Amino acid sequence: FRFSSISRFVLEKFRRNMADERNGNGEQNHPAPKLNHRIISSMSRRSVAAHPWHDLEIGPDAPTVFNCVVEITKGSKVKYELDKKTGLIKVDRILYSSVVYPHNYGFIPRTLCEDGDPMDVLVLMQEPVIPGCFLRARAIGLMPMIDQGEKDDKIIAVCADDPEYRHYTDIKQLAPHR
């Protein structure tokens, strides 16, 4: 699918999410917590781990280039997912087949989809990276999907800092075997 032919609804929602993030107009049901309140409490002097979904900025260059958090490493048979309460990456299951994740897979922080999860992203890049790290990505396409009867589209992106992939702007530019 070409990025330019993505469902207008999904693309507009993605852009609206990022515009709301920049303007501080988060949805009423999911207000973005203030970063300093979650990261360090000056009153108690206790550190609190940053939550990758709520505390990580989407990035100053969004929607062109945006931050994303990797949950599943390229080549892995382990299905990890974000634990929404703690912000930690937990093991969901081990894939019982010869199938592996073809590229790094994760989510875009401070986004919310119809399924109640952050927006999913598959990031094409040369190397696997560890679960829980974040990187800068550029969307080049969309993979429409249905999961348990609900729409669960995946953004296809390239790592903005990978010299082999950063020049791609559309999924049609990729070689068929990628």
pLDDT > 90 fraction of the chain, expressed in percent and rounded: 43
The pLDDT value recorded for residue 41 is 47
Helix (H) or strand (E) holding 90: strand 89-94
Residue 20, pLDDT above cutoff 70: no
pLDDT for residue 72: 93
Maximum distance among all Cα pairs of the chain, rounded to whole angstroms: 56
Residue 3 has pLDDT above 60, yes or no: no
The confidence score (pLDDT) of residue 149 equals 86
Enumerate the domain spans of the chain. 3-23+48-172
* 18 — pLDDT class (breaks 50, 70, 90): low
Q: Between 103 and 146, where is the model more confident?
A: 103
Reported CATH class of domain 3-23+48-172 = alpha beta
Q: Report the SS3 class of residue 8.
A: helix
Q: Catalytic residue numbers?
A: 101
Is pTM beyond 0.85 here? no
Model pLDDT for residues 157-168, shown as the tens digit of each residue? 999 999 999 999
Residue 54 scores a pLDDT above 90: no
- What does the mean pLDDT of the chain come to? 80
What does 32-88 look like in DSSP terms, one character per residue?
PPPHHHHHEETTTTEE-PPPTTTTS---TTTTTSEEEEEEE-TT--EEEEE-TTT--
What whole-number percentage of the chain has pLDDT above 70? 71
